[in-house]
Structure 1
């Protein structure tokens, strides 16, 4: 069970960290200067994820089953929306100077990150285990190291492949969350 939950977490972490968006566009542009510039932005955004995780973890036991059903359905619907958004998105070419605090600020104010943690984050803790969350952060860390290196070393041009793979994984988790939410409603 540990390896299964951990592996699912890594896959989800990679799929959530990988889609083109504001944070990754800044990581990409800053990585063209240096890998460390891009990694700084990534670690800032991951710190925001850790902050949201702790809030979700602390409030996890006080959520009623009725609210949990709504959260699962909303989380699954949000993941579907996120998957479609990933497929339609493009990497913007202009950015500001990036660093850790820019990534942190973007993460703390990003409505997608906030909604994700208060929907899919609850699902991870309730239905899988803390190991899935550990895997999720491992996946994000892997992305923070690999993505800036690839951009720095080979330049941009891989956004299309990242987008397709990330969207497919997000759709898979959306279906899984919606299925679990539906089972809760049936019970």
Structure 2
């Protein structure tokens, strides 16, 4: 039981560690949260997690290796992701202006765009090269019996955390904990942003502006990576 709890807990830590670093998914979650409320932010996070669920099923079936065998297919997906990020960056920049209107952002009940966050994050996650690469490498490794250095996979600081948490892979408890950690993040992160926005009136346009910059930056980066494959 102790081993089961430790593996489950390690999965939660792994899920949070991968979901928390700044990136295009969190930019969309942040924008939706401060402009349209917690439900909108949660739905955006749920869209990204749903894409992870699809990748997980494809990894179980061995389908994800198709993308690995055909670099041009992966490059095309990365290019599409870059275009989508630039499009969503334009939308975020538009939201900066609208958030300055009297009364601030609309509530969940008032804003008809509450459901759009799910679709934006879901479509973007399906073409996000970071998520694709994760499921082609580490994600597949989660399903195979062996060991995994959990915190070593954390973006930006993984090298300094190597060896701290090492668990057995191929365990249902690890997978359950992993998605539980993501669920924890997409629930708590929007709540924290909404709470902060209520305390600082200028918080919404700042977050929308930062989201636009982040999405535009990743969009240009992904388009450059895609072009590098097609135009060596």
Same fold per superposition (TM over 0.5): yes
2:120 & 2:52 partners in 1: Cα distance?
14
Aligned pair count?
127
Structure whose residues are more often helix by fraction: 1
Please identify runs of 4+ aligned residues in structure 1 that moved more than 6 A: none
1:136 is aligned to 2:178: yes
2:189 & 2:127 partners in 1: Cα distance?
22
Cα gap change, 1:15/1:93 in structure 2, threshold over 3 Å: closer, same or farther?
farther
Counterpart pick for 1:14 among 1, 13, 16: 16
Instruction: Give 1:3's aligned residue.
Output: 5
Q: Any residues of structure 2 matched to 1:3-152 within 5 Å, and which?
A: 3-33=5-35, 34-59=37-62, 95=92, 98-126=116-144, 127=146, 128=169, 129-152=171-194
SS at match of 2:34: helix
SS at match of 1:99: helix
Larger-gyration structure (1/2) = 2
Q: Shift of the alpha carbon at 1:93?
A: 11
Q: Is the 8 A contact 1:29 1:93 kept in 2?
A: no
Structure 1 regions of 5+ residues with no counterpart?
64-91, 160-187
CA deviation vs aligned residue, 1:26-51 (integer Å, no higher than 9, x gap): 11111112001111110000000000
1:17 & 1:94 partners in 2: Cα distance?
23
Q: Is the 8 A contact 2:28 2:117 kept in 1?
A: no
Q: CA RMSD in A?
A: 2.4
